[in-house]
Structure 1
Amino acid sequence: MIPFVRLFLVCLLCLLGAVAGAQEDSQSWYEAEDLNTGLGAAPDNLDRSTPRAAMRSFIDLTDQERFNWAAHILNLSDLPVGQQAEDGPRLAAMLASVIERRIWVNWSGLSARPDAMVESEAGNNPRAGETRRNIRIELVEVNGQAYEVRLARYKGSGQDPVWLFTPQTVEDVPGLFAEFGPRRFERFIPQSLKTRAGPLRAWEWIALPLYLAILGLLLWGTNRFVLMLSKKTSRAFLRQAIDRAAMPLALMVTAFVAQLFLNLAVSFSGPVTNVVRPALVIIMVSGFGIAALRVVDAILDRITLRVVGDIDDTRSLEKRELYTSIFALRRIIVLFMVGFAIVYVLLRLNLFESIGMTLLASAGVLTVLLGIAGQAVLGNILASLQIALAKPVRIGDSILFEDNWAYVESIYYTFIRLRTWDERRIVVPVRYFVSKPFENWSVRDARIYSTIKLVLDHSADIGELREKFIELAKAKDGVIDHDKLCAYVSGQTSNGQEMSFYVMSPDPSTGWETEMQLREDLLNYIRENHPDWWPRERVMSEGGATSMSFDAS
């Protein structure tokens, strides 16, 4: 009894395994009753067992101009049987031209397995181990419409499964050929120059350097023409804007003409097309973006000079805030233009889908790399935006930063440029600047107290000096708020007393100059009227008498 049960279980397991295998096989291909019956029997040596073999066979046959054989690698099921023999070779020739001129075949991405199983040596592909019966070779955009070139696995009645170009791809071939096929100029090329010489045809090795040379001359000529137009402009800010935008505009025009030439006159092979076309798109977008930014810069500079003028702490708080807001607006415009350009290029080149999975799969690595390599740059940009929004310091503010009295001259993305009173420039990373304490002498207004300190003998009369100081200060244009003028004895030692004189000025620059002038005036008054007030050094003699001498200092 037991051997019979064992035998029954073994048979049951075998039966279930066979059913499962049949179900798995049925999911590995598409069933097709009539598969290219109008073409007749396929050649015996035609290898269509894997995606890579099917693509290699198609390219080899079309290079040999055996289009009737290459037609067997197309799924012509949507064509009437009577037209397959006539239309198949013609469609194969068209598709071969499209692949040659537009598609750069990624051979490493084409599976060499009949089931096209996704393999991943590193084991980080989420689809590893998955069998496929449909593979996309390329996504091509024509007039805003996306077309796919695909291979799929089909099994006809009583036939082995084979990989063929899908019926949808075959249907799209005429439209793709009209867009990417031979151009008018190529009709005049001798047949001898159409032979292949490496990855390109012979005529392309001659035409490509000429093409680049003509584009270089066009770039130079367009730039010179735009600069000539700027000289004829009467308005200064327009001339400045055109001068700044001359080269980006020339790049944009040159890339546009180059793209037009590729669309109308000549079409290079896939390796060149896949490099040149994306480069032209990037150049056009970059040229337009840079030109727009430079025009905006010129307009903002014009507004700044007209409304604000040369900025320093003598300007009103409103004008300094306006100037800082203009710089913030410039940064926002730059960020917007860069983001728009990146998104447009990715959409135009259909890169979102191709890089999406890669970015997701390597998100952890990218996060670490950005966190290490881009920490300083991103930190400075965020700190710059923080200053632009919170405005703890504005362009034109007078500050004391690390014992340097300076004006905030410019606030950029990653650094702040300070102009010292003696016309030096201090460049400070924004992140470092906001992490250090600094004195903003213009945070509310530009007024500032200046302090004049003198060390005099104990016999100096502070009352007389106070009256003289007030008299001298009221005569100065750089002194405001006369009711706040004051003078006090602020210190005392055995050699003398320290006197401090306080004066209010409208801004630090005027305050510094006024302080120097008043110090000179006070010293002149003491020198001419009371030379005995200079500080003296007192020395005790051996007999107990006290002798005095003037302090050489």
Structure 2
Amino acid sequence: MSVRSPGDWPILVISVIGSILLVEVARRVLNRVGRKWALARHLVEHCTWAAFSVAAVVAFNVAFQPGMFGDSASDRSVAGTVERILGLVTIIAVTWLIVQATYALTDVVLDRLVLVEGERNRRARRIMTQIALVRRIAAAGIIVIAVGAMLFSFPQVRALGAGLLASAGIAGAVVGIAAQPTIGNVLAGLQLAFSDALRLDDVVVVEDEWGRIEELTLTYVVIRLWDERRLVLPVSYFTQNPFENWTRHGSRVLAVVYLRVDWSVPVPKLRDGLYEFLQANPLWDQKDWTLQVTDVLPNGLVELRALMSAADAPSSWDLKCDVREFLVDFVRDNYPDSLPRFRVETPESRLGVPDNK
């Protein structure tokens, strides 16, 4: 049995403060090293407060003695309660630190993948999506294990273990039926990530809305729309409904502009002007382009389609707007007679009678 000493509490306080100071020194060192070492920078960003809490709790555990409260029955009861709380807090702090360290390690990889451009960008985004989902699964697993360890630190819970195991089959069936939508979403999330059907930063059209995949979790997908709104859909939506993925096999996108004009429009002149404009536009990737007469409309107008390629979806949208503006100005300024017009045939015009109005 330990005997209470007047110096026990100061030693405990000094131990806790000393451990916190050691972590602070380590943080400052890693902060300097982090200018050149990415892992050190991410460890500081994610693990600082978790490391402080672990250091304080561990130091408290090492320096704490049950006899510090006294030797009476009530004092021993209080000491036992404190020890149990310390055990729970230690599990929480260590779990927090492990999860944050996991995120710091994976962020190093994600940072490198974000910088990948060109043809390898699609593969990099697929790996980013998978890493993001796997680390969420790992974090959830670590937390579940920690909660189990906390529960089994109570003798009453351990005593109920046999009964819980005996009824695990029935409980599992009930929970499985109740959680069927959630489980379906989780499985759908894994299916999307590892089947390469959807990746972070993919350009998609969903529910007639155009946007990019901003976040992909095990239960929901966040799409950042073109006007900065966010469309949040369950993961199962993408396994049960059709959607457009413009960057499924690459980031290049074709921009299309339609122009309805009069029959008198000189298409070769318009085609030459478009090519000259595209050559001077930095949004064009210098690969594909064309201008074709695609239809004659029932209202008597001719439909022209301008097609040009861009490196990605945002560039495609801006290029499309630029080309449309150029074509409108080009026809208006150079060939005003080719602007859209509607012809009406009257009995007088059919007979060649001049209109005196």
Q: State the distance in 1 between where 2:18 and 2:346 align.
A: 92
Of 373, 394, 410, the match for 2:199: 394
Q: CA deviation at 1:445?
A: 0.9
Matched, 1:293 2:95: no
Within a 5 Å distance, the mapping from 1:91-130 to structure 2 comes to none
Of 280, 283, 302, the match for 1:497: 302
Checking the alignment, whether the CA contact within 8 Å between 1:293 and 1:334 is kept in structure 2 is yes
Secondary structure of 2:343 counterpart:
strand
Q: State the distance in 2 between where 1:380 and 1:223 align.
A: 42
Of 197, 216, 230, the match for 2:27: 230
Q: State the distance in 1 between where 2:224 and 2:18 align.
A: 40
Secondary structure of 2:112 counterpart:
helix
Q: State the distance in 2 between where 1:382 and 1:276 align.
A: 42
What is the one-letter code of the residue matched to 1:503? M
Checking the alignment, whether the CA contact within 8 Å between 1:446 and 1:508 is kept in structure 2 is yes
What is the one-letter code of the residue matched to 1:364? I
What is the one-letter code of the residue matched to 2:27? S
What is the one-letter code of the residue matched to 1:513? D
CA distances 1:246-292 after superposition (whole Å, capped 9, x unpaired): 33333333433444414563476686566544433232122112112
Q: State the distance in 2 between where 1:393 and 1:375 align.
A: 23
Secondary structure of 1:518 counterpart:
helix
Q: State the distance in 2 between where 1:461 and 1:518 align.
A: 17
* Residue aligning to 2:110: 304
Q: CA deviation at 1:532?
A: 1.2
* Residue aligning to 1:129: none
Q: CA deviation at 1:314?
A: 8.6
* Residue aligning to 1:245: 47
Checking the alignment, whether the CA contact within 8 Å between 2:20 and 2:56 is kept in structure 1 is no
Checking the alignment, whether the CA contact within 8 Å between 2:58 and 2:90 is kept in structure 1 is yes
Checking the alignment, whether the CA contact within 8 Å between 2:284 and 2:310 is kept in structure 1 is yes
Q: CA deviation at 1:421?
A: 3.0
CA distances 1:479-504 after superposition (whole Å, capped 9, x unpaired): 34646534222341224122111112
Checking the alignment, whether the CA contact within 8 Å between 2:293 and 2:302 is kept in structure 1 is no
RMSD, aligned α-carbons: 3.7
Structure 1 residues 243 and 529: alpha-carbon distance in aligned structure 2, compared to 1, 3 A threshold: closer
* Residue aligning to 1:467: 272
Matched, 1:377 2:182: yes
CA distances 1:99-125 after superposition (whole Å, capped 9, x unpaired): xxxxxxxxxxxxxxxxxxxxxxxxxxx
* Residue aligning to 1:67: none
Secondary structure of 1:337 counterpart:
helix
Structure 1 residues 240 and 446: alpha-carbon distance in aligned structure 2, compared to 1, 3 A threshold: closer
Relative to structure 2, which stretch is displaced further, 377-386 or 259-268? Answer: 259-268
Q: CA deviation at 1:327?
A: 1.3
Secondary structure of 1:316 counterpart:
helix
CA distances 1:346-366 after superposition (whole Å, capped 9, x unpaired): 565564552331353375356
Q: CA deviation at 1:393?
A: 0.7
Q: CA deviation at 1:307?
A: 4.2
CA distances 1:2-37 after superposition (whole Å, capped 9, x unpaired): xxxxxxxxxxxxxxxxxxxxxxxxxxxxxxxxxxxx
Of 250, 274, 279, the match for 2:85: 279
TM-score by length of 1: 0.53
Q: CA deviation at 1:526?
A: 0.6
CA distances 1:324-365 after superposition (whole Å, capped 9, x unpaired): 232133224314423442454456556455233135337535
Q: CA deviation at 1:453?
A: 0.4
Unaligned runs of 5+ in 1: 1-181, 189-209, 547-553
Checking the alignment, whether the CA contact within 8 Å between 2:133 and 2:218 is kept in structure 1 is no
Checking the alignment, whether the CA contact within 8 Å between 2:292 and 2:304 is kept in structure 1 is yes
What is the one-letter code of the residue matched to 1:265? M
Within a 5 Å distance, the mapping from 1:29-108 to structure 2 comes to none
TM-score by length of 2: 0.78
* Residue aligning to 1:334: 139
Q: State the distance in 2 between where 1:286 and 1:473 align.
A: 60
Secondary structure of 1:538 counterpart:
coil
Within a 5 Å distance, the mapping from 1:153-302 to structure 2 comes to 182-185=1-4, 226=23, 230-231=27-28, 233-234=31-32, 235-236=34-35, 237=38, 238-260=40-62, 261-263=64-66, 265-266=68-69, 272=78, 275-302=81-108
Structure 1 residues 429 and 277: alpha-carbon distance in aligned structure 2, compared to 1, 3 A threshold: farther
Unaligned runs of 5+ in 2: 353-357
Q: CA deviation at 1:510?
A: 1.6
What is the one-letter code of the residue matched to 1:251? S
* Residue aligning to 2:228: 423
* Residue aligning to 2:335: 530
Secondary structure of 1:393 counterpart:
coil
Checking the alignment, whether the CA contact within 8 Å between 2:291 and 2:304 is kept in structure 1 is no
Q: State the distance in 1 between where 2:226 and 2:336 align.
A: 34
* Structure number with higher relative contact order (C-alpha < 8 Å, ≥ 6 residues apart): 2
What is the one-letter code of the residue matched to 1:308? V
* Residue aligning to 2:259: 454
Q: State the distance in 1 between where 2:89 and 2:230 align.
A: 35
Checking the alignment, whether the CA contact within 8 Å between 2:189 and 2:219 is kept in structure 1 is yes
Structure 1 residues 380 and 400: alpha-carbon distance in aligned structure 2, compared to 1, 3 A threshold: same
What is the one-letter code of the residue matched to 1:361? S
What is the one-letter code of the residue matched to 2:266? D
Q: State the distance in 2 between where 1:358 and 1:274 align.
A: 27
Which has the larger helix fraction? 2
Structure 1 residues 431 and 483: alpha-carbon distance in aligned structure 2, compared to 1, 3 A threshold: closer
Q: CA deviation at 1:228?
A: 6.8
* Residue aligning to 2:355: none
Q: State the distance in 2 between where 1:357 and 1:322 align.
A: 43
Structure 1 residues 361 and 303: alpha-carbon distance in aligned structure 2, compared to 1, 3 A threshold: closer
Checking the alignment, whether the CA contact within 8 Å between 2:67 and 2:76 is kept in structure 1 is no
Q: State the distance in 2 between where 1:391 and 1:281 align.
A: 43
Identity in percent: 23
Q: State the distance in 1 between where 2:253 and 2:339 align.
A: 29
Matched, 1:412 2:184: no
Within a 5 Å distance, the mapping from 1:513-552 to structure 2 comes to 513-541=318-346, 543-544=348-349
Tell me how many residue pairs correspond in the alignment: 338
Q: CA deviation at 1:323?
A: 1.7
